[in-house]
Amino acid sequence: MVQTVFHLPYGSGLTLTTAKYYTPSGRLIQRDYSGLSFYEYYTNHFRKNSDTTSPQGKAHQTDTGRSVYSGGGIKPDVEVKPLEANATRSRMFEATFEFARQLTSGQLQGFPQFKVVRTSYGHKLREDEFVITDKVIAAFKLFVQSTDKYKFTDAQLTEHAEYIKRRIREEVVTAAYGSEVANQVFLEGDDQTLKAIEELPRARTLAESSRYIRRK
Determine the Cα–Cα distance for residues 79 and 50; give it in Å rounded to an integer.
22
96 and 183 both lie in a single domain: yes
Is 206 within the bounds of a domain? no
pLDDT tens string 114-144: 999 999 999 999 999 999 999 999 999 999 9
β-pair partners for 68: 60
The pLDDT, as a whole number, for residue 170 is 96
66 and 103 both lie in a single domain: no
The pLDDT, as a whole number, for residue 151 is 82
- The model carries a pTM of 0.66
132 and 174 both lie in a single domain: yes
Is 207 within the bounds of a domain? no
148 and 188 both lie in a single domain: yes
On average, the pLDDT of the chain sits at 85
pLDDT tens string 24-83: 777 888 877 778 787 877 776 555 544 445 556 778 777 667 777 777 677 777 888 877
* 80 φ/ψ sector (left φ>0, alpha ψ -120 to 50, else beta): beta
Is 115 within the bounds of a domain? yes
Confirm if 171 and 140 have CB atoms less than 8 A apart.
no
Does position 84 have pLDDT exceeding 80, yes or no?
Answer: no
52 and 119 both lie in a single domain: no
The pLDDT, as a whole number, for residue 174 is 96
pLDDT tens string 150-171: 888 899 999 999 999 999 999 9
The pLDDT, as a whole number, for residue 215 is 60
187 and 111 both lie in a single domain: yes
Does position 194 have pLDDT exceeding 80, yes or no?
Answer: yes
The pLDDT, as a whole number, for residue 71 is 76
Listed in sequence order, the residues at least 6 apart from 144 whose beta carbon sits closer than 8 Å to its beta carbon are 95, 99, 150, 152, 157
186 and 95 both lie in a single domain: yes
Is 214 within the bounds of a domain? no
Is 150 within the bounds of a domain? yes
The pLDDT, as a whole number, for residue 61 is 76
92 and 49 both lie in a single domain: no
Determine the Cα–Cα distance for residues 189 and 201; give it in Å rounded to an integer.
20
Q: Can you give the residue range of the structural domain that contains 20?
A: 2-75
Is 215 within the bounds of a domain? no
Does position 214 have pLDDT exceeding 80, yes or no?
Answer: no
Last residue of a domain, one of 75, 110, 136: 75
The pLDDT, as a whole number, for residue 51 is 46
Q: Which long-range contacts (CB under 8 A, 24 or more apart) does 17-20 make?
A: none
Determine the Cα–Cα distance for residues 167 and 86; give it in Å rounded to an integer.
16
Determine the Cα–Cα distance for residues 35 and 127; give it in Å rounded to an integer.
54
69 and 91 both lie in a single domain: no
The pLDDT, as a whole number, for residue 88 is 84
93 and 162 both lie in a single domain: yes
Listed in sequence order, the residues at least 6 apart from 79 whose beta carbon sits closer than 8 Å to its beta carbon are none
66 and 116 both lie in a single domain: no
Is 185 within the bounds of a domain? yes
Domain count, the chain: 2
Last residue of a domain, one of 24, 44, 75: 75
Is 103 within the bounds of a domain? yes
142 and 186 both lie in a single domain: yes
β-pair partners for 59: 69
